[in-house]
Structure 1
Amino acid sequence: MDALDLARWQFAITTVYHFFFVPVTIGLSAIVAYHHTQWVRTRNEDHLRLAQFLGKLFTINFALGLVTGIVQEFQFGMNWSDYSRFVGDVFGAPLAIEALLAFFLESTFLGLWIFGWGRLPERLHAACMWIVHIGTLLSAYFILAANSFMQNPVGYRYNEETGRAEMTDFVAILTNKVQLVTFPHVALAAYMVGGAVVMGVGLWSLRRAALSAPGDARAADIPLHRRAARLGAVVTLVASLGVIATGDVQGKIMTDVQPMKMAAAEAHYETSSHAPFSVFSTGDLDGKNAHHWIQIPGLLSYLGQGDVNAEIQGIDNLREELTAAYGGDPTSRTYDATYTPNIPMSYWSFRFMMGLGFVTTAASLAVLWATRKGRAPTHRAWLWVALLTPFAPIFANSFGWIFTEMGRQPWVVYGLMTTSSGVSPGTTSAEVIISMVVYTLLYAVLAVIELKLFRDYVRKGPQPFADPTEPAREDDAPLAFAY
């Protein structure tokens, strides 16, 4: 592989890994803030214990997400300098605001929340976590504004002398129609992930407590764990319905600005009306040898245009249009010449995204049913539901982003810059391999740390109730992670 392919692999690996933590951070911060607020309002001990317990899991995830996110910025200078130079004037404002406003908002108020127990007024203390949550949403909004420019460039002019895109309308960038539908879709997907994590942890702890010996202290926490499992399931269910609704709108916007991406999602080669959507296919997705199983007539037309009888452009037709507009060889199979993404990757990532999302929705319904009227499920099957369900929406998010980015290829900024022209001209394959190996090994170590910390704190469970309004230590005692 050349430097371009290696740089793309490195960015994909580090980005997908980093995004494992992002939706957990957004979703968990909202649930922790909810429990803390409920403690202040109701003085229910379960809410306080869950706020502190889930807060530890959130803090672990936040720290790992911070470390992995820093690497993203390094890569722009190392491997994608031409791309950075081209979009730097446009990306500078939203990314600077994200770092200076959103990130510092998150980190500052998270510190106040961690070390504020018994020191800050209760309402102000609870508000700190809500501010952290608002910070995570603002951070997502400004980063998505930059990504939406890559999907649908607006609010800029091209300077032929410098060869750069220059921002002319910051408001247009922040209100890009792709941005306005992508942000709620991503935010709701994050709530889905956060809810699934809480549901999984609560269900695992509930089953463990229900199977404990009579008189075991863990049995007394059955109502607490059931509360966590059910709240997580409700958040997951409601968020998943929102993801479906916003995803439907996003599909129509995507068809408008990037029709090739929608065609690639179905390996749809010939323009047609009442275009079907296949659940899965076998064979080569080349328009000739594929066998589409369980096709739903008109569904692709509805996903793209909101009308089952609407016309959806095919890959072959779009390839000819893009070649005529930007030049190239429509018969070539080289990376840039056909303006066509990797069809199998687009096709399957789209289905894995949807499939894992529906699995998560079904799991939330199952957990709500199994825990109704005070029930505590103990069958071994529920152990696997608890362990695997949190990963389903996390990987659904990842496959969604893989589809979003791969389906845009060969463009790094749609219609303006191809990915091959954005790579650093002086970067060698050896340099990329070295940095990719270092980052991958580092991330492997961080993954072990993350999973071990999560496992250890989940096994310990919520700490016994201790009223934070009655400080048990002197003001000059050392601060600790245990609240």
Structure 2
Amino acid sequence: MDLVDVSRWQFGITTVYHYIFVPLTIGLAPMVAGMQTAWLRTGNEHWYRATRFFGTLFLVNFAMGVVTGIVQEFQFGMNWSEYSRFVGDVFGAPLALEGLAAFFIESIFLGAWIFGWGRMPAWLHNLSIWMVAVAVNLSAYFIIVANSFMQHPVGAVYNPDTGRAELVDFLALLTNPTALAAVPHAIFASWMVAGTFVMGVAGWWMVRAARRGDAVAGGWFEDADQMWRSALRLGAWVTVIGVIGVSLTGHSLAQLMFVQQPMKMASAEALCTTETDPLFSVLSISFSNSCDDTHQLIGVPFLLSFLAGNRFTGVTLEGVAEIQAQYEALYGAGDYSPNMFVTYWAFRIMIGAMIPSVVMAFLALWVTRRKRSFDKPWFGWLSLAAMPFPFVANWAGWVFTEMGRQPWIVYPNPEFQGQLLPGNEQEIHMLVEFGVSDHSVTTVWLSLISFTLLYGVLAVVWFWLMRKKVLEGPPPPGSSEDIAHKEYDPDEDDGVAPLTFSEDGAPSTGKAEH
């Protein structure tokens, strides 16, 4: 592999690994906030215990996401410096806001939530976790705004004197139609991940608790029909909402991509020539990863026309060959089609991997209907087995998004292809081969191997911590009595004195010194 290939593998591997934690964090934060709100409003202790239990899992996942996410931003400058130089004026703005606004809000209020149990007014403590939930979604928005500029550059012009894209309309960047379509899609996908995760853990615990309830009377295992059933149904409903939301927003995003990135969508369907009302490909094969010997074996009529144009007939879609000819006329000789095998199958894995989540959700709602719990071992193991699938769907979605954009690192805006913009500025676009830093292949290989080994260790640590906390279970019954609806009394001596300053400016604990 050459420098570009190794660099793409490096960024792809670190990104996919980081994205284990991102959707779970985005989806789990509002679920934990909802659990705490339910406890405060109803007084039912099982919601308090669920909050502490799933809140701990959220914190482990959040910490791992922070550690792995920092690497991403350094890679832009260290291994993709030419790209960063070209679009840094634009790309850096939403990334800066993600750090300075969203991440700071997350950190501050998450700290208040972690250390504020029993030391803050109940409503303020609950507000803290809701602020975290808002901030993680705000963080996702700014990240997707930055990524959407790579998919559909707006709000900037190319300065031929500096050879850089320069931001001229920040509002246009923030309201990029690609971002406005992609943000809700990513958030609903995160709800699907978090809902399936909560459903999986709660389903396994419900079966375990129900089967051991008689043997451990008075202990945690009497929770089958209270905490675990409630958490299971919450996860199931969040999963159903997530899947419905992903489907609707995905439909809108696909229609946008047919306009903005027709080559991506043609490759996703192995549509090699322009056709009117082509079949939606269920299975196509190719032995050379090109249109030369691509054969569609199974297709569904009307579906692709509806996906692209919201009507079942009369939709003409361009094929790979025609789009390739257009790009050659505009940008010169070269191969402007992505890897068809990856694009085609990533699109189908993205859709297919959602099915286990929605099937498991409806099964969970059915077996727990009429306030009953369920104690069949197969249900517990099936709950756990469903958990990886929404992660796979999210990974496949981003692989499709990024690989389908190739060979462009900044895709040409179709509104201005081949035109000069007002002021004689050129349209903004960049091929991926021009974005990498001028390193040796050996240097990138060493960093790729190092990251892979390090992330392998972190994966083991993450899995060990998550498994350990799941097996430990929630706090015991009665653990909420000391802090339930407690208003913090600043005059109460809880052993932690506030930090104050004496008259001479020296720090003091405010207590008499001996």
Same fold (TM over 0.5): yes
Q: Match for residue 325 of structure 1? A: 330
**Which stretch of the first structure deviates more once superposed, 39-48 or 369-378?**
369-378
Give the whole-Å Cα distance in 2 for the aligned partners of 1:269 and 1:299: 18
Structure 1 residue 381, shift from structure 2 partner: 2.9
SS of match in other structure, 1:408: coil
SS of match in other structure, 2:290: coil
Give the whole-Å Cα distance in 2 for the aligned partners of 1:215 and 1:377: 17
> In structure 2, what residue type is equivalent to 1:461?
G
Is 1:349 matched with 2:346? yes
Q: Is contact 2:210–2:222 with CA below 8 Å preserved after alignment? A: no
Give the whole-Å Cα distance in 2 for the aligned partners of 1:200 and 1:135: 26
Is 1:167 matched with 2:167? yes
Which of 379, 385, 389 in structure 2 is aligned with 1:388? 385
Which of 395, 399, 416 in structure 2 is aligned with 1:398? 395
Q: Match for residue 249 of structure 1? A: 252
Structure 1 residue 436, shift from structure 2 partner: 0.9
Give the whole-Å Cα distance in 1 for the aligned partners of 2:447 and 2:266: 35
Q: Is contact 1:230–1:368 with CA below 8 Å preserved after alignment? A: yes
Q: Match for residue 481 of structure 1? A: none
Give the whole-Å Cα distance in 2 for the aligned partners of 1:177 and 1:405: 17
Give the whole-Å Cα distance in 1 for the aligned partners of 2:134 and 2:213: 43
Task: String of CA shifts for 1:65-121, please: whole Å, max 9, x gaps.
Answer: 000000001111221000000110001211111100000100110010010000000
Give the whole-Å Cα distance in 1 for the aligned partners of 2:242 and 2:30: 12
Structure 1 residue 291, shift from structure 2 partner: 4.2
Which of 421, 444, 447 in structure 2 is aligned with 1:432? 444
Q: Match for residue 420 of structure 2? A: none
Q: Is contact 2:213–2:222 with CA below 8 Å preserved after alignment? A: no
Is 1:377 matched with 2:378? no
Give the whole-Å Cα distance in 2 for the aligned partners of 1:288 and 1:413: 27
> In structure 1, what residue type is equivalent to 2:432?
T
SS of match in other structure, 1:184: helix
Task: String of CA shifts for 1:277-323, please: whole Å, max 9, x gaps.
Answer: 12223443533544434311122222122222200100001000011
Q: Is contact 2:152–2:178 with CA below 8 Å preserved after alignment? A: yes
- The structure number with the bigger radius of gyration is 2
Give identity over the alignment, percent: 48
Structure 1 residue 138, shift from structure 2 partner: 0.8
Structure 1 residue 200, shift from structure 2 partner: 0.5
Q: Match for residue 366 of structure 1? A: 363
Structure 1 residue 20, shift from structure 2 partner: 0.9
> In structure 1, what residue type is equivalent to 2:301?
P
**Segments of 4+ moved more than 6 angstroms:** none
Q: Is contact 2:360–2:383 with CA below 8 Å preserved after alignment? A: no
Q: Match for residue 66 of structure 2? A: 66
> In structure 2, what residue type is equivalent to 1:286?
S
Which of 290, 294, 307 in structure 1 is aligned with 2:298? 294
Give the whole-Å Cα distance in 1 for the aligned partners of 2:106 and 2:285: 46
SS of match in other structure, 2:165: strand
Structure 1 residue 213, shift from structure 2 partner: 5.5
Give the whole-Å Cα distance in 2 for the aligned partners of 1:95 and 1:13: 21
Q: Match for residue 281 of structure 2? A: 278
Structure 1 residue 358, shift from structure 2 partner: 2.3
As a proportion of its length, which structure holds more helix? 1
**What does residue range 5-154 of structure 1 map to in structure 2 within 5 Å?**
5-154=5-154
> In structure 1, what residue type is equivalent to 2:259?
D
SS of match in other structure, 2:354: helix
Task: String of CA shifts for 1:334-380, please: whole Å, max 9, x gaps.
Answer: xxx11000000000000000001122112211111122223333334
**Which stretch of the first structure deviates more once superposed, 108-117 or 210-219?**
210-219
> In structure 1, what residue type is equivalent to 2:466?
F
Q: Match for residue 407 of structure 1? A: 404
> In structure 2, what residue type is equivalent to 1:6?
V
Q: Is contact 1:195–1:232 with CA below 8 Å preserved after alignment? A: yes
Change (3 A) 1:99 1:237: same
Q: Match for residue 183 of structure 1? A: 183
Is 1:421 matched with 2:439? no
Q: Match for residue 229 of structure 1? A: 232
Structure 1 residue 239, shift from structure 2 partner: 1.3
Q: Is contact 2:327–2:336 with CA below 8 Å preserved after alignment? A: yes
> In structure 2, what residue type is equivalent to 1:147?
N
Structure 1 residue 46, shift from structure 2 partner: 1.1
Structure 1 residue 17, shift from structure 2 partner: 0.6
Give the whole-Å Cα distance in 2 for the aligned partners of 1:213 and 1:378: 10
TM-score (norm 1): 0.94
Q: Match for residue 507 of structure 2? A: none
Structure 1 residue 219, shift from structure 2 partner: 2.9
Give the whole-Å Cα distance in 2 for the aligned partners of 1:430 and 1:383: 47
Structure 1 residue 230, shift from structure 2 partner: 0.7
Give the whole-Å Cα distance in 1 for the aligned partners of 2:346 and 2:444: 26
TM-score (norm 2): 0.89
Q: Is contact 2:200–2:387 with CA below 8 Å preserved after alignment? A: yes
**What does residue range 442-461 of structure 1 map to in structure 2 within 5 Å?**
442-461=454-473
Give the whole-Å Cα distance in 2 for the aligned partners of 1:303 and 1:384: 36
Q: Is contact 2:206–2:380 with CA below 8 Å preserved after alignment? A: no
Q: Match for residue 243 of structure 2? A: 240
